[in-house]
Structure 1
Amino acid sequence: MNTEMQLSERPESITEILALGFEAVPFAALFYLPDDKLTVLWRNSAHAVMSSSVGADIAGMGMFEAFPPSDDAEGSDAVNFIRTATDDVMRTGKPQEVGPARFDLLSDEGHYVEHHWQMHFAPIQKDGNVIAILQTARDVTEATLTARLAQSHRRAATSTASVAYFSYDPETDLFLRHDAIDAMFGFAPQEAGPYAAPFFERVHEDDIGAVHAEVARVLDAPHGEIASFDYRVPLPSGEERFVRIRGEIATDPVDRRPKLVGTFVDLTDMENARRDLEKAVHLREALVVEANHRIKNSLQIALSLLRLQSSRLIVAGGPAAEKARESLRAVESRVRAVADVHAAIQIDDDAAKIDLMTLFNRLVMSTRKSAELPDAAMVFTHPSEVIQLKSDTAIALSLMLNELLTNAIKYGSPHEQSPVTLVVDVTPERVLHVTVDNAHQVAEATLDIDSGGTGERLIQQFAAQIGAEVNRVKEDDRVTARITMPLAPVEL
């Protein structure tokens, strides 16, 4: 459609001619006079719909009477851009394009709703004079607000998360970017120039190969494939920065060339915090290991003192000394059980844990050694599954098992043909069973752990502490004791 129109000499009225030519077009059209009021001559139905004024007769009204602007500064700007466009058409005799420009409309409730327009002003001439102006308009409110929202998101991301946007042309090396990217790489504003080469030069030599490979991969991949880079940037100052890039190939709407577009994220603070935390965790793990080592050594000293005192009682002789010596032996076995726990503690997943089979094996070996039993006199059977427990649970379970093994030795007189057996198994429902069976029990044995009942009380207290149950069955000359305890579910 020509942007300059000549009125014919026919006698039909101007409005009739306009109605014939513009009523059926799909865009909004309005004709007005270039007078002080910008008097409206006619507008089509599309304009009525777009301006939310269907049914309103505005012919003969001034434009800003028909569509009053808001009273704020933005309303004044709306009046100014229309008057300026009209003046430019009158001065040059040429069409004018304006927008996106804001001109708010009144709603049915009587308040202004934000609107943005793309407007075209074309002169209508007769005998070389502009006698009217054709205004066509498109409502671009949604596109304008969407773009503005995207810009707000970008500004917010840049200011709060060290995020910066870029566009890179792999063929020309042209690198359009946010100023924050230059700062990430240690460049002053404008120092690096318009190309990416200076930035590639500052990528760590061990990382640059992977960066080029990722660019090549994404260029060959279908559109929508995400590029992902994580690399180090050693700066001239000696500082090292950690940068992450996420982007994809998109066609530039201006030159129709494929560009890699996306974001840079400065992860330096996060990486430094991670390294500091890692150092702190390693230090804490070392302190825990050292603490357990010292506790184990202290318990070994206590064991040595108990054994020394026991040796003196042997020398003293007599019933009282023998009874005291038996008590010292019971204390010694309990201290040794705790020492075995501390010897087996490991730091795993930032927590002090113990492998149950390693712990029980230590306990069996130390019990054999203390009772001077051959290996075949105490047999330990267990599954190959690794079962890890927290240290407090392991201590309680270890002391319970120590009492059961001590009692089995005391009353069972184990030997190679009639050993004490320790069996560990785990059901599919993650229930732990620890069974101690002394194959031969002397006649005077009871179901109590020891004659004074101390071991029994210890077992019951520890069982309540860790949610376990202890059951004993006496059949003929043998006693079988079983500890049952639910385990935590396996973490996948």
Structure 2
Amino acid sequence: MPSTNFAAILKGMPQPYLVLDTNLTIVGASDAYLALTDRTLDDIVGQSILVAFPENPDAAGTVEQGPLEVSLRHVLETGKPHEMAVIQYDIPQPGGGFAQKFWTPVHTPVVAGDGSIEYIIQNPMDVTESVLKAKEADARLRVAHHAADLASWEYEPETDIWRRSHAVDAIFGFAPGEGGPVAAPFFARMHPEDLSSVTQVVTDVMACPDRTTMSFDYRIVLPSGDERHVSSRGEVLRTSTGKVRMIGVLMDVTADRLREADLSKALAAQAELLEQKELLLAEVNHRVKNSLQLVVSTLRLQARRLEDPATSEAFSRAISRVRAIISVHERLYRNDNTLRVDMQNHLSKLCLDLMGDGPNRVVLDIDALELYTERAIPISVIVNELIAGSVNLSGEEGNPITVSLKGLPDGTIELSVTGQDEILPSKDRDLGKRLIATMASQLDGVVVEATNADGYRLSLSFHGRDS
């Protein structure tokens, strides 16, 4: 019986395959793999995979050799296949330089007759195109995280692979990349009294279905002995083989905890009651803002997974509505007056947040009014609903919109928004109108809509008492 030429079979396979021995040395590759990586067998056979495909020096901190090696050694230790999450691993070019590449490698052991592992087969799927298409959404998410002082992370309990933004390293007291590719050094810096609760959360979600949410708060003990307080939120993502991965965000809330301690001391001393009240209100506004910002970040994480345009648009509108409420608490927290909102300043910034810094499509006519929080929030939600709807309908070249807030001689206040014939998008109009009506009822106000030759106008009149 003629012998089988396994080398020829491997070489002709239509899928990209790389064969490694137990020392992670390359012993073979399919033609499809060589074409995908722009290499020849002479270039790579006999070399360690980490030498044959070195890190890109121009992408320090992004090329993920560490997680790749962890995955391969995990296969050697367990004898089980391992599917990696998306990693960046740039490919050196024959003429010099590197080509940016993103992959989802699958590592499968080849077991000998005696049960020992003889080889590892790597099947790398090139997902560069899809990753680059999502680059703009990822950039928006990074900007949102930066604005909210959030750091992102991704954890794989099976291998302990721990991928995170540089902000996570900074919070744990590591230089970028210093902590390595696994989570063990980071767990080692968690406060001993909090470590068990964190590991319990990880253990509990191992049997949970995809998209299960999780939350945990803990302290970090830095090498200097200083402590940091962290609040983290995340969710479960399962791979195609059912393995658990976790993604999430975390926030350094040390300043909040210190303020709580200061507030406790102030309350215990029962001194300067008015100052304590202001401090308490500032803390409440700050906490509400942080809590709602975590909600927005969680919605953004979930929105990235949506493919249906209508559902994605609904998420965007929900995020916009929550951000309108966040903006009020943000202004209160940053101003000396923790009870009243400067409506000129607030509505100007709210409209800027909604419309961006492009062409001026909003005309503001706002009196110098200061309103209590319970009045500022309904007004903000109504303006957000109308302006956001107009942005969705009109695009960059839409007609200008006028937002007016005036104090009238009889003591009432009138909010009006005027513009094109249709401001609320038709697919969301009923919900938008119900939301506006609900906000108006909180003000004991009357809403009047009118459409004529000059366009559309919505006005809301309410009593200006205590404003």
TM-score by length of 1: 0.37
Which structure has the larger Rg over C-alpha atoms?
1
TM-score by length of 2: 0.38
